[in-house]
Structure 1
Amino acid sequence: MGHNKAKRFRNSSHRGQSSNNRDVSREDDHQVSLPTDQAPFEISSEFLADAPDEEESMVLPKVQLAMWDFGQCDAKKCTGRKLSRFGLLKELRVTNGFGGIVLSPVGKQCVSKEDSLLMKRKGLAVVDCSWARLSDVPFVKLRCAAPRLLPWLVAANPVNYGRPCELSCVEALSAALIICGEEETANLLLNKFKWGHAFLSLNRELLKAYSECENSAGIISVQNAWLSQSSRVTKTLPDKEGTDLVPLNKDADSDYDSDDGLPPLEKNLNHLSLEQSEDENDDHVLALTTDPWSRRRRSRPRSDDGSVVS
């Protein structure tokens, strides 16, 4: 009891003061507690690397973008998750359907200019998974109104640089956007990556030709004409570590030296099929293009001795 009385006595100095005086006292105490010579707070460069700029954060894609994420690839290398952090696309659950264009291996035709109206109205979606675990992805169960394939293009992402048809999510989305006339949105996505311009440089001529086609049949025709010209697509082989692509014909590269110092457009015949070797790891980000060559090879009839019938 004595302790409680003493406590009340210590606080009794505030008795008799008006509410205005107490407010002024609190304001004075608050002002005194503020530092006067503290150095300004500095944000580390690592934090700013992924933080959107104020001007860029105000820019939204003109096309609604979405992604099914199966969590198979390396989160640090996943381009789809980075776009999601920037608020440029919406992540979908497996049970969610999508009414727009979906880049998927189950598609029966290539995305083309005739899909532009549906893309503007309903959007564009991609599937984020690992190249090495494609068989684990239930593509058929994903409810999509318009599944589409991408034509032959070359990857420029650091994981699969120079490999045909092994695009990352941002490359696949950007390619479909450019083909359908949404180049501004494609540039918005690619600008989030230091290597984004490389994808446009490697595929500039092809993307321009694809975007001028009216339908899927026209795109297939352009693709086949490109692939039939051996001077444009140089045969390459991986080095001992299997990371870089080494051209076998050095003279064939001279016509394709770009001004930005990027390597020439090359074709690695070891990576044309979707069937991956056992030694590939799960760090590969998803590429949503399918190999038109391997599909044609499987569809050709064979004789009794196993030879291909021409």
Structure 2
Amino acid sequence: MEKIFYVYMNQDDPKKSTMKKLERYGMAIKISVNKIYNKLYLTPYSDNFLLNSCRILFHERGIVVVDGSWNRINTIENFKGKNGKKLPLLLPVNPVNYGKPGKLSSLEALAAALYIMGYIELAEQVISKYSWAQNFINTNIEPLNDYMKCNSNEDCIEAQDNYF
């Protein structure tokens, strides 16, 4: 069974934490940072893009999203894990970073990862918990569909360059 985990960094207002809300819905599990090692986790510091083939690792070990502030992103630069992946560029629709390529909320990053790995219904379920997020998939539908077809970092760079 696929599991969604998150590491909460205490960098933002906890009432606005998208991952805490998913936890309240029973859709995410909070873990400590030392538990990410073998799991698939999202980090902009990886050299490797998240690909559709990551779905195997997601199925076996789950995915971890770091719930923190973009203003303090450097605090996760040294997280240790062997399965860190970065997302290709997408447009956020969140109120804080609307329209700033790549500055996704934790919720948007999770939905994008799920979509790219082919878990489209699960991505839509995650997004459905926030009214402001409803347009995220529609706004990014073409790049998401292209990223889902990528088999390598080079494919992702080429697809990303078509949009950004």
TM-score range, shorter chain: over 0.9
Task: Give runs of aligned pairs for residues 258-297 of structure 1, distance below 5 A.
Answer: none
Letter in 2 for 1:79: T
- Corresponding position of 1:301: none
Q: CA deviation at 1:94?
A: 2.6
- What per-residue deviation string (whole Å, max 9, x for no partner) do you get for residues 241-262 of structure 1? xxxxxxxxxxxxxxxxxxxxxx
Partner of 1:69: 8
Q: Which of the residues 181, 185, 190 maps onto 2:118?
A: 181
Aligned to 1:104: 43
Whether the 8 Å CA contact 1:154–1:164 is kept in 2: the answer is yes
Shift of 1:222: 0.7
CA distance in 2, matches of 1:138, 1:196: 25
Aligned partner of 2:141: which letter?
Answer: R
Corresponding residue of 1:204:
141
Structure-to-structure mapping, 1:163-242, within 5 angstroms: 163-227=100-164
Q: Which residue of 2 aligns with 1:162?
A: 99
State how far apart, in whole Å, the 2-side matches of 1:164 and 1:134 are.
Answer: 15
Q: Which residue of 2 aligns with 1:282?
A: none
Q: Distance in 2 between matches of 1:87 and 1:219?
A: 32
Q: Quote the offset at 1:102 in angstroms.
A: 0.6
Partner amino acid for 1:94?
A: V
How many residue pairs match? The answer is 164
Match of 1:291 in 2: none
TM-score, scaled to structure 1: 0.50
Shift of 1:106: 2.4
Structure 1 residue 79, shift from structure 2 partner: 0.7
Structure with higher RCO (Cα < 8 A, 6+ apart) = 2
**Which residue pairs with 1:149 in the alignment?**
86
Give me the whole-angstrom Cα distance separating, in 2, the residues matched to 1:95 and 1:112. 24
Structure with higher Rg: it is: 1
In 1, distance between residues paired with 2:88 and 2:155? 11
Report the AA paired with residue 99 of structure 1. N
Hey, what's the Cα distance between the residues in 1 that align with 2:27 and 2:64? 12
Deviation at 1:139, TM superposition (A): 3.4
Give the 3-state SS of the residue equivalent to 2:124 in structure 1. helix
Whole-Å Cα distance in 2 between the matches of residues 139 and 91 of structure 1?
A: 20
Q: Which residue of 1 aligns with 2:61?
A: 122
Runs of at least 5 residues in structure 1 that lack an aligned partner in the other structure: 1-61, 228-310
Computed over aligned residues only, the root mean square deviation of the Cα atoms, in angstroms, reads 1.5
